[in-house]
Amino acid sequence: MLRKKILLIMTAITMTASVLHGNPLLKPYKTPHETVPFNEIKTEHFAPAFEEAMKVHKAEIDAIINNPKPATFENTIEALDKSGRLLSKVSAPFYALMGAETSDELQDIARELSPKLSEHSNSIRLNEKLFARIKAVYEQRDKLKLTPEQQTLLKQTYDGFADNGANLSDADKAKYRELSKELSLLTLTYGQNVLKETNKYELLITNKEMLKGLPNDVLDMLADNAKKAGKEGWLINLKATSTIPVMKYADNRDLRRELYMANSSKCMVGGEFDNRENIKKIANLRLEIAKLLGRKNYAEHVLTKRMAENSENVYDLLNNLLNAYKPTAEKEYAEVQAFADKHGAYFKVQPWDWAYYSEKLKSEKFDLNDEMTKPYFELERVKQGIFWLSNKLYGLNFKENPNIQVYHPEVKAYDVTDNKGKFVAVLYTDYHPRDGKRAGAWMSSTKDQWKEGKKNSRPHITNVMNFTRPTATKPALLTFDEVTTMLHEFGHALHGMLANTTYSSLSGTNVYRDFVELPSQIMENWGVEKEFLDQFAVHYETGEKMPAELIQKIKEADNFNTAYATLRQLSFGFLDMAWHTLEQPFEGDPIAFEKEAMASTQILPVVDNTAMSPTFSHIFSGGYAAGYYSYKWSEVLDADAYSVFQKNGIFDKKTADSFRINILEKGGSEHPMVLYKRFRGQEPMIDALLKRHGVSGN
């Protein structure tokens, strides 16, 4: 029996060694620019790779702790920043796939790994010996001759440990470990529920008359959905490529209402994917963690590392914008209602009517609609236009590299170089919806930038969207809103690609949450500029440039219903803050709580049995907890920053160089207000945003 047990153990060890030895995640990548070898990676490689990477990381931490020499910036702070590179190497492709090409198997692995990764992180953050060395360096910071970036790294390292329980008693550290593990698993479950509930819904239409009003390309897409599902007719799902055009164009009000209710009641009608209890548990766990760390609520815990600094400043921003925009938003609603009345509506405009009548009013008011502009916004040409803009501003060039492995056949990979031919970054683009891809649009990285010695290790950046696919008769054509989204996410990509810091933890988009949207939102401004549109906006059939009068209409219509859109964003900001300024555990009805939190921003009628919280992935599973206000905070920044381009010229090289050097390249290496003032010469003011939107600040 003993011999049999020994043989079994030896066999298991041999098999484990074999798996590790042949695991592509654990070997040096012999690929162009050391990019992820997606073709070689199998699902079963991830779990053992994570286990091995955590072991290696632990050994690196032990080496820092057991160093017999006194703690210094180099042997403790820098060494800590460099540790965990193998774990980052394994994590990056895993989470890239989790977002853009997931599967049940990957999600099972994620659920199994979540508590392990949480415990691994806690074992580092709560290590007394490691924190003692960090603290020893921190306490002599005024005597050290550190660069601004080194000072930032030291402060963020110390604060990162202190804010995550390093100063707690042993009992409280144990409590913190349990709470953070539970929270990690709950946020993962929440996000998986949203994806599964979204994918579950299908509405097959067999009577084409029900789809009256939809453009032909939308009908083609819905027919293609049905064909792929082995059905006849037109298949509507809850992906944005279906919901947005149906809500905007379908004459059938009952159909619009059906789709609105399905989309707005996800994860709150019972069943295995209901998130209402998860919301309460997540909010309460965050509150418990915050109180354990000596904060009165979770927002105060988070905001210590934000430009806003505290909840009072966040509420000041939200309330100032609410007061400025609400009168205009009410006028916008009244105008849409009057238009609907004039065209035979016998009802008060409801949420499922808003996009439909707004689009028709916009078409009448500006003689402009999506069907007029879409032929000029062919996806590939838009991408080339954005590449052109990136070259004009920052001297970047993009060349597709077919030798770089990708995680899906639709993904393209590009070598990014400067005008001297020097390699800058790798860019992956992924533009169309799939069942394995979550909704929305985002930028991520499969490798951050860092420097060591003479080596400047360059980043690998991914842009992911959910744009309508090409059909048998048409290429992929974008709405103007989708062009804006593409510009926005490319701004994030530029922030990542142009990173030029020493430390990976301060590189690219590793900045304060309420600063990270500046590089993305400023890019949206070029979307209405004729000089930019002239470079790529040509009719996909005739090759003719977009007429100047159509460009002018786009510019004139850019502020259409912008006050309503602002209040909608503010409503999400107020909701986020309400959940994260709780000071007592929440045991009530999350839907009723939401309605109260958003009440001051509501312009449209509030509909029973609908809510945002059960699918608000940004704050419950996406890193924006107590941070959703940052979109509006950054909009103030971007309007103020773009005013410099408007003054000096929208392609002015000197201004672009300053923005690149002081903002894009610096990442989180210094406090964002220091960086912003270095570019702008002053702190941002709200005036430029109000002027852009034609809204009075009084």
The residues annotated as belonging to the active site are 489
Whole-number Å distance between alpha carbons of 511 and 420:
29
Instruction: Give the β-pairing of 396-400 and 412-418.
Output: antiparallel
CA distances from 388 to 348, 382, 385, 398, 471 (A): 46, 10, 5, 9, 26
Name every residue whose Cβ is closer than 8 Å to that of residue 244 and which is 6 or more positions away in sequence: 355, 479
CA distances from 331 to 295, 362, 695 (A): 41, 15, 12
Q: At 634, phi and psi to the nearest 5? A: -70, -30
Side-chain half-sphere of 207: how many Cα atoms within 13 Å? 4
Sheet containing 396-400: order of strands: 396-400, 412-418, 423-430, 460-464, 442-447
- Burial per residue of 92-102, b for 16 or more beta-carbon CB atoms within 10 angstroms, e otherwise: bbbebbbbbbb
- Taken in order 663, 667, 673, 678, is the CA torsion positive or negative? negative
Whole-number Å distance between alpha carbons of 230 and 343:
39
Whole-number Å distance between alpha carbons of 490 and 486:
6
Are 259 and 246 in contact, with CB atoms under 8 Å apart?
A: yes
Side-chain half-sphere of 381: how many Cα atoms within 13 Å? 22
User: Distance between alpha carbon 373 and the CA centroid of its chain, in Å?
Assistant: 27
- Nearest C-alpha neighbor of 448 from the set 435, 438, 458, 456: 458
- Beta bridge partner(s), residue 342: none
Q: At what angle do helices 170-200 and 104-125 cross, to 10 degrees?
A: 160
